[in-house]
Amino acid sequence: MKLSRRSLLISGASSTAAFAATQVFSPKRGVAQTGEVNLYSSRHYNTDDELYEAFTERTGIRVNLLEGKADELLERLKIEGDRSPADIFMTVDAGRLWGADQEGLFTPVSSATLEERIPESLRHPDGHWFGFTKRARVIMYNKALVNPSELSTYEALVDPGWRGKVLIRSSGNIYNQSLMASIIAANGKAAAEDWAKGMVANFARTPEGNDRAQIEGAASGLGSLAIANTYYLPRYAKDEDPAKQDIFKTIGVFFPNQDDRGTHVNISGAGVVKTAPNKENAIKFLEYLSSNAAQAFFAQGNNEYPVVEGVPVDAVVGGFGQFEADDLNVNFLGENQAEAVRIMDRVGWV
């Protein structure tokens, strides 16, 4: 049985009528399809397709995949309400999972498999959602411009010596909002605001572009340091373009805060929708995502870190070295998100 895949090609300004008119699945809401599970996902990695097909081969349960941006999928879920065919909502960043949970979209899941295999810090305290991959937000540096012995913590990035040298995305980026939320959790609101002011003072440019733009800026010497998620950098090593490979060779990876709380990590995760027509299949799917085979596929397919201990990472990622991760429960990244945005707005982090 093959993966059934659709894309939600609707802009953020879509009307309710446009959402309602989009036909996604042939099953009617309220009729349990015992051989199917309906997945709404904002993960946009084509390598995940093989993972879903492997689940079908193992269980006989077909995966119906609807892809779209996280905000669009959330809006669709709210519009569909009790009529939604969705069984699972999957997205990146704990802040988005927290937001979906605040909308009451998830149902608690009790699974000995998930509770045993997924660390407590990487899942909702009451089983509303679970993390299945990790991505570390690290300091990447131009090897020709920075000695890694000069680096230590996120907090130290505000030192005057880094004035005009730090490249990072805008405050509107949820990865940065979650990083800011972790700084609040670690140091308190006042200290976090001081840190944000110091970061703005040290920007190499007004924030623009995605994580790859920050990496490329550091490689070109536009700045010396870039804040980025680890899984972006291996793509340069694996690219056939020699210029991309040169970028990889130029950039080093430093894991901050190894002498205290550890490096900030975020997740890609999923939960079962409260109105799921195929709840048992949905739980089987989530349990499958925690299996060694699925975890290894995530690691190899998208250069992410597995959440299950002992599963090997991609060879390029492994070359970055081992690190201690912050064990803050990622649910707090969502809880602190609004305050993080307010702080960044106040200090002029655009």
The predicted-structure confidence for 184-217, as pLDDT tens digits, reads as follows: 999 999 999 999 999 999 999 999 999 999 999 9
Q: Above 70 in pLDDT, residue 338?
A: yes
Q: Do residue 334 and residue 252 come from a single domain?
A: yes
Q: What percent of the chain has pLDDT over 70?
A: 90
Q: Do residue 95 and residue 238 come from a single domain?
A: no
Output the six-digit token pair for 312.
């090997």
* pLDDT score at 11: 36
Q: Do residue 122 and residue 208 come from a single domain?
A: no
State the average pLDDT over residues 228-252.
Answer: 98
The predicted-structure confidence for 24-73, as pLDDT tens digits, reads as follows: 444 444 444 459 999 999 998 777 888 999 999 999 999 999 999 999 99
Choice among 16-20, 251-255, 267-271 with the minimum mean pLDDT: 16-20
* pLDDT score at 6: 64
Q: Do residue 104 and residue 59 come from a single domain?
A: yes
Q: Above 90 in pLDDT, residue 18?
A: no
- Residue 92 has φ and ψ, to the nearest 5°, of -105, 145
State the average pLDDT over residues 115-136.
Answer: 97
Q: Do residue 227 and residue 310 come from a single domain?
A: no
Output the six-digit token pair for 9.
């090609």
State the average pLDDT over residues 273-295.
Answer: 97
* pLDDT score at 145: 98
* pLDDT score at 47: 76
Residue with tokens 């080093």: 252
Task: Yes or no: say if 291 and 231 are a contact pair by the CB < 8 Å rule.
Answer: no
Contacts with 301 (C-beta within 8 Å, 6 or more apart), sequence order: 45, 47, 48, 50, 51
Q: Do residue 154 and residue 256 come from a single domain?
A: yes
Q: Do residue 197 and residue 337 come from a single domain?
A: yes
Q: Do residue 308 and residue 249 come from a single domain?
A: no
Residue 272: count other Cβ atoms within 10 Å of its Cβ: 29
Q: Do residue 32 and residue 82 come from a single domain?
A: yes
Q: Do residue 189 and residue 145 come from a single domain?
A: yes
Q: What is the mean pLDDT of the chain?
A: 91
* pLDDT score at 8: 56
Q: How confident is the model at residue 19 (pLDDT cuts 50, 70, 90)?
A: very low
Residue with tokens 């609807």: 66
Residue 144: count other Cβ atoms within 10 Å of its Cβ: 10
Strand partners, 267: 134
For strand 166-167 and strand 225-229, is the pairing parallel, antiparallel, or unpaired? Answer: parallel
* pLDDT score at 168: 98
* pLDDT score at 252: 98
Q: Do residue 217 and residue 295 come from a single domain?
A: no
Q: Above 70 in pLDDT, residue 111?
A: yes
Task: Yes or no: say if 179 and 227 are a contact pair by the CB < 8 Å rule.
Answer: yes
Gap between the Cα atoms of 241 and 189, Å rounded: 44
Count of domains for the chain = 2
* pLDDT score at 44: 82
Q: Do residue 113 and residue 176 come from a single domain?
A: no
| Host domain of residue 130 | 4-134+266-318
Gap between the Cα atoms of 20 and 18, Å rounded: 5
The predicted-structure confidence for 266-275, as pLDDT tens digits, reads as follows: 999 999 999 9
Strand partners, 228: 138
Closest to 94 (Cα-Cα) out of 335, 339, 346, 347 = 335
* pLDDT score at 328: 97
Q: What CATH number is associated with residue 157? A: 3.40.190.10
* pLDDT score at 17: 35
Which own/partner contact pairs does 336-339 have at CB distance under 8 Å and 24+ positions apart?
Answer: 336/180, 336/181, 336/182, 336/184, 336/185, 337/95, 337/98, 337/99, 337/177, 337/178, 337/181, 339/181, 339/184, 339/189
Gap between the Cα atoms of 109 and 286, Å rounded: 10
